Amino acid sequence: MAFSNPNRFKKWLLEHTLLFVSIVRWVILSTITGLLVGASASLFIKTLDLAVKIQEHIEYYFLLLPLGLFFSTWIISRFAKDAEGHGTEKVIEAIHKKNGKIKPEVVPVKLIATVITIMSGGSVGKEGPSAQIGAGVASSIAELLKFSPEDRRKLVICGISGGFAAVFGAPIAGAIFGVEVLYIGNMVYDVLLPSFISGLISYKTALWMGITHIYNPITFLQGFTMVMFLKVLIMGIVAGIVASIFIETLKFSEFIASKIKGNRLQKALVAGLVLVGLTFLTGKRYLSLGMEDIYASLAGEKIPFLSPFLKIIFTSITLSFGGSGGIVTPIFYVGATFGNIFSNILYIPASVGAAIGMMALLSGATNTPIASTVMAIEIFGPSIAPLVAIANVISFLMTGHRSVYPSQILGMKKSESIHVRTGVVLEEAQDFRVKWSKSCIFVRLFLYFARRFGKK
């Protein structure tokens, strides 16, 4: 027996005492973090809601886009450069490269810059700023309490989870997102408990402060058949390709922005004018959050065929030329509209297709298949969970070794036939070579006939 040896009993007692103290410590810390992050995120959401209500009373609000991008760029450049972009990416970068240290001024600057961007019509989301605000609050708490770099990282991850949970009303998915988004193929299990507590407390705080969330239960009555399995498999493959297109379009837009002559403020003005011109050509539906089209897609209404791709263009221009905001809401828009449209080809109910597309695109674009699946259950109910789970994993694999968050660390190869560096950030792992095997013979045949056909 373990207790027959006095020394072994002492070690057992010491081990469990330390574990108990650690659990109590992190329960207290994550609860405080959840309260503060939930309150901060709710303040941001309420401010944003007020701005959107004002926007609704201005018919040609999008004419303010050049000024909106200009002032958003100026505020960030002047007061907090780390507040640029779509939020979550900067937090991931801070965790990997700065031990989670985020300057306090990022919180108010990110809030103001995002509200300006969305109010003027910039195509961005609200989850990135919420995650960055949450992470900034958590980093400030860690700095105040003189935490070690490792503990600061843990608390900042709790801030991500809390911000995500507060804005989307998905506490479990928010917690898992915080520990899954840092590494592709790995999860940070030592932060699981505080992340869950922070996400749940933040979510409850947001509810207490009057924040409402999407809850759209979908009942799928057809059952899980082989035909439905094949349809979902196809949807997952196409969702992964669409996610990859989104990522590459965003990168291309950033490349164009880097090549255009002029300073950041001048580029922001030009991009604003381009978006104004595009709006006159396509309409206002691709501006700001685009929640109306997301709800319409989930309700099974007919959506214009080019909607997903036009939203990608509007979002890429906005984020690459000075706009501040998140990228998950645009991902939801693209996924929901794509799923709605593609469901007609596969003869799937449009609402079911929109829900699957919405979550599959999130999984592929952010490399978070588990959080995306859990989020589907929290938002749409358990009925379509098996379908969403399959589509999410396939989309995750099909997107390849790329992400809307290039600071993610690659912890796995998505195929043994692709030799790519692991253990480095995605920016450093882009060069890969194909490692042919017998399992890839069909790929060889495809490339052979493609070359023959091309010569003809």
- In angstroms, the CA 454 to CA 437 distance is 25
* CA dihedral sign, ordered 95, 100, 105, 110: positive
Which residues are CB-neighbours of 186 under 8 A, at least 6 positions away?
409, 411, 412
- In angstroms, the CA 367 to CA 380 distance is 20
Lowest mean pLDDT among 19-33, 78-92, 342-356, 384-398: 78-92
> In the predicted model, what is the mean pLDDT of residues 89-98?
87
pLDDT digits (tens, 9 = 90+) for 203-227: 999 999 988 887 777 776 566 678 8
Q: Report the pLDDT value the prediction gives residue 32, as an integer from 0 to 100.
A: 95
Q: Same CATH topology for 6-208 and 226-398?
A: yes
> What ranges do the domains of the chain cover?
6-208, 226-398, 415-455
Cα distances (angstroms) measured from residue 23 to each of 28, 199, 403: 9, 16, 34
Q: Report the pLDDT value the prediction gives residue 285, as an integer from 0 to 100.
A: 93
Lowest mean pLDDT among 55-59, 283-287, 307-311: 55-59
| pLDDT band at 448; cut points 50, 70, 90 | low
Q: Answer yes or no: are the C-beta atoms of 73 and 109 closer than 8 Å.
A: no
pLDDT digits (tens, 9 = 90+) for 324-353: 888 999 999 999 999 999 999 999 999 999
Q: Report the pLDDT value the prediction gives residue 38, as an integer from 0 to 100.
A: 94
Which residues are CB-neighbours of 287 under 8 A, at least 6 positions away?
62, 121, 122, 123, 275, 279, 314
| pLDDT band at 188; cut points 50, 70, 90 | confident
Looking at this protein, which amino acid is placed at residue 209? M
Closest CA to 134 of 270, 32, 220, 248: 32
- In angstroms, the CA 183 to CA 367 distance is 9
Q: Which CATH architecture has domain 226-398?
A: Orthogonal Bundle (1.10)
Which residues are CB-neighbours of 126 under 8 A, at least 6 positions away?
44, 45, 48, 114, 118, 167, 289, 325, 326, 329
- In angstroms, the CA 157 to CA 170 distance is 16
Q: Answer yes or no: are the C-beta atoms of 361 and 243 closer than 8 Å.
A: yes
Q: Is the pLDDT assigned to residue 456 strictly greater than 70?
A: no
Q: Answer yes or no: are the C-beta atoms of 88 and 127 closer than 8 Å.
A: yes
Q: Answer yes or no: are the C-beta atoms of 395 and 360 closer than 8 Å.
A: yes
Name the CATH topology of 6-208. Answer: Clc chloride channel (1.10.3080)
Closest CA to 156 of 211, 92, 252: 92
Q: Answer yes or no: are the C-beta atoms of 111 and 133 closer than 8 Å.
A: yes
Q: What is the DSSP string of 159-199?
A: HHHHHHHHHHT-HHHHHHHHHHSSEETB--GGGHHHHHHHH
Cα distances (angstroms) measured from residue 374 to each of 29, 114, 124, 263, 360: 25, 27, 24, 43, 12
Q: Answer yes or no: are the C-beta atoms of 244 and 402 closer than 8 Å.
A: yes
Q: Answer yes or no: are the C-beta atoms of 318 and 123 closer than 8 Å.
A: yes
Q: What HEC string does 13-46 produce? A: HHHHHHHHHHHHHHHHHHHHHHHHHHHHHHHHHH
> In the predicted model, what is the mean pLDDT of residues 410-417?
82
- In angstroms, the CA 44 to CA 129 distance is 8
Q: Is the pLDDT assigned to residue 450 strictly greater than 70?
A: no
Q: Answer yes or no: are the C-beta atoms of 331 and 310 closer than 8 Å.
A: no
Q: Answer yes or no: are the C-beta atoms of 423 and 389 closer than 8 Å.
A: no
Q: Report the pLDDT value the prediction gives residue 316, as an integer from 0 to 100.
A: 95
Which of the pair, 247 or 445, is modelled with greater confidence?
Answer: 247
Closest CA to 242 of 339, 350, 126: 339
Closest CA to 134 of 175, 73, 81, 182: 175
Query: Average model confidence (pLDDT) for the chain?
Result: 88
The whole-model pTM stands at 0.91
Centre a 10 Å sphere on the Cβ of residue 140 and count the other Cβ atoms it contains.
Answer: 18
Paired with 418 in beta bridges are 434
